Amino acid sequence: MSVVLEAVNLTKTYQQYTALRELSLSIHAGEIFCLLGQNGAGKTTTINLFLGFLEASGGKALIKGVEVTPNSSAAKQMIAYIPEVVQLYGNLSGLENLDFFSRLAGFTYSSVALAAFLNKAGLQTEAHNKRLAAYSKGMRQKVGIAIALSKNADVIFMDEPTSGLDPKATAEFTAICKELAADGKTIFMATHDIFNAVNVGTRIGIMKQGSLVHTVSTSGISAIELQQLYLETI
């Protein structure tokens, strides 16, 4: 399988402080990589470097072999980002938000095609034309996923995607992520949710103080074992 995301000695420093220290990592198409670590471990910094929101102090981040820099539109076209709280227009419907944001990214779709993206992201048809202000966090997240799909992003970055989701919404989210990965999308998420990480992830990384200390496959580890490893690491 092809490498989609790569970090090579990726480093971010703020004056004397090292937020990310020489991260080297390769992630393949169809993987769901979950990054765990305490507050301040460097998870968001890693995502922000891949997104080109931050400039690396050393090393590089690559998307499908294209180096990410704050000005690299070629790399940015291949990725989408779903923040912890998806920022959408409350007075527009899910369908209208999707139409607006996909146009902003340069894509124009028919309403049938827009509805298909929302369905693929798991948003029930009866919600498509309701105002966003009435959506739950899980529903907003589904619009975020639909936007990522409409942009034809190969890689979807997510920050704390299950925080604040109830168990049913978390289960729906997990199922959607697995479907996207089966379609060849690559997902990279920062999370504190060890149990969901084992459930949804193909591989887990554990960070401590800016360093990636462990990467483990979820096929050989239970949630209890991962929790044990996490607690021993941090």
Ligand X SMILES: Nc1ncnc2c1ncn2[C@@H]1O[C@H](COP(=O)(O)OP(=O)(O)OP(=O)(O)O)[C@@H](O)[C@H]1O
**What residue ranges bind ligand X (CB under 6 A)?**
14, 17, 19, 37, 39-45, 190
Q: How many CA atoms lie within 13 A of 7 on its CB side?
A: 24
Q: Select 94 or 144, whichever has its Cβ closest to ligand X.
A: 144
Q: Select 17 or 112, whichever has its Cβ closest to ligand X.
A: 17
Shortest Å, Cβ 54 to ligand X: 8
Q: Select 78 or 190, whichever has its Cβ closest to ligand X.
A: 190
Shortest Å, Cβ 22 to ligand X: 15
**3-state secondary structure at position 222:** coil
Q: Select 98 or 194, whichever has its Cβ closest to ligand X.
A: 194
Rounded distance between C-alpha atoms, residue 53 and residue 75, angstroms: 12
Strand segments (E) across the chain: 3-14, 17-28, 32-37, 58-63, 66-67, 79-82, 155-159, 186-190, 203-208, 211-217
Nearest of 11, 163, 10 to residue 85 by alpha carbon: 163
Q: Select 30 or 83, whichever has its Cβ closest to ligand X.
A: 83
Rounded distance between C-alpha atoms, residue 25 and residue 205, angstroms: 10
Q: Tell me the two tokens of residue 170.
A: 């978390």
Q: Select 19 or 148, whichever has its Cβ closest to ligand X.
A: 19
Rounded distance between C-alpha atoms, residue 195 and residue 228, angstroms: 12
Q: Tell me the two tokens of residue 16.
A: 């004397």
Shortest Å, Cβ 43 to ligand X: 4
SS3 content of the chain, % helix, strand, coil (to 5): 40, 30, 30
Shortest Å, Cβ 161 to ligand X: 13
Shortest Å, Cβ 212 to ligand X: 11
Q: Is the dihedral of CA 139, 124, 180, 151 positive or negative?
A: negative
Shortest Å, Cβ 190 to ligand X: 6
